[in-house]
Amino acid sequence: MKRSFGVGGAALVATLLLGGCARRVEVEPEPQAAQGSVSDYYPLSVGNRWTYRVNGRDDKQVTVEILKQEDGYFHDNQGGQLAVDAYGLRDPKRYLLRGPLAQGHAWTNVVSVSSTERYQILRAGGACDVPAGTFPSCLQVEARNRVDAQATLVNTFTFAEGVGMVRLETVVETDGKRIPQTRLELTRYQVGGRETAAPPSAPPAG
C-alpha cells in the first residue's frame, strides 16, 4: 500500500492517571526547542533545489527544484506548492510545520470530510545526519493519517535549519506492525545560490 498525504503529521495524546493518597512529585524535563523561525527550516526561493536518494539507492534519486512564485506560493517541478505565513509552512491544504518550534507541539489539519491529519514535533534542536552531511539544528515532525479501520499512514519529516527537508520516512501501521513504504534522504542541495553535495565515500579499508 503506497499512499501519500503530503508532508504531514499527528499528535498522540498521553494522559497521566494519578491514584492514591501519597504521591511522589516529579519534575518534568523542560521541552526542547529549536532556534530560528519556521522559514529557516524550509528556505523558499526560486532556484533552490534538493536532491534525494530513494530507499537508500544512489542510482535512484529525485530532485525538487523551485521554479516560480505565483499566487502566493512557490511552485516546484514536482507539482508542489509551498508558502510561509504568520502561522507556519503550508501547502494549499495543510500546515506542514507550525510554531512554536518546540518538542511536543501539535496541530491538526482537516483536509477533507473524510481525512484528518495530525502532526507533532517529536524532536527539536538536535543534530541530524544524512548523506548530504551533518546538520546541527534539526526538527523531526510526525504526520499521521488514518487510512481506514485497519491502517494508519505515518510520515516522519526531518528539517534542517538553513537547508530544508533532509529526510522523509513513510510507513503504514497495521495489525501492530510498521510496514516501510518510502525513505528519502538528502544527497545534495542548492539554497541561496550555494550548492552542496554529499561528501565522497571513504575507500574500503585494507
What would the pLDDT profile of 130-184 be if each residue is shown by its tens digit?
A: 999 999 999 999 999 998 889 999 999 999 999 999 999 999 999 889 999 999 9
Contact 122, 11 (CB under 8 A): no
Domain boundaries, the chain: 38-197
**Distance (Å, rounded) from C-alpha 189 to C-alpha 52?**
9
Q: What is the pTM of this model?
A: 0.79
Which residues are registered as beta bridge partners of 150? Answer: none
In this predicted structure, the answer to whether residue 100 has a pLDDT above a threshold of 50 is: yes
Of 18-27, 37-46, 49-58, 96-105, the one with minimum mean pLDDT is 18-27
CB atoms within 10 A of CB 27: 5
Look at strands 151-160 and 133-146 and give their pairing.
antiparallel
What would the pLDDT profile of 114-127 be if each residue is shown by its tens digit?
A: 889 999 999 999 99
Does domain 38-197 sit in CATH 2.40.360? yes
Helix (H, G, I), strand (E, B) or coil at 142: strand
